[in-house]
Amino acid sequence: MTRRYPVPVPAPAEDSRFTFGLVMDVADVLAAHGYPAMTGDKYDGQGPDLLGLQMALYRLIYTTTPATGAAGLTREDV
């Protein structure tokens, strides 16, 4: 199986497509699918929630080393 992600980190480790706007768009899509909203009204955990989403997106898009899961599979295997 050929995967499209992760992609190489662009030099100098910056990509104009990876913005806070991207994170907010993904948060809005999650809310549209019934998950708790991260945008709109402010709440105590809003900053950490948005940071967690940003970090998860970065790991999906740019991880440069294969991750090995409990079954010993790398990202390329699954």
Task: Kindly report, residue by residue over 43-63, the tens digit of the pLDDT.
Answer: 999 999 999 999 999 999 997
Q: What is the pLDDT of residue 74?
A: 55
Do the Cβ atoms of 73 and 20 come closer than 8 Å? no
Q: Which residues of the chain have pLDDT under 70?
A: 12-13, 64-78
Q: How far is it, in rounded angstroms, from Cα 74 to Cα 47?
A: 31
Distance CA 55, CA 23 (A): 10
At residue 9, the pLDDT reads 84
The first and second tokens of residue 36, run together, are: 């708790």
Residue 8 confidence (pLDDT):
86
Q: Which pTM was predicted?
A: 0.74
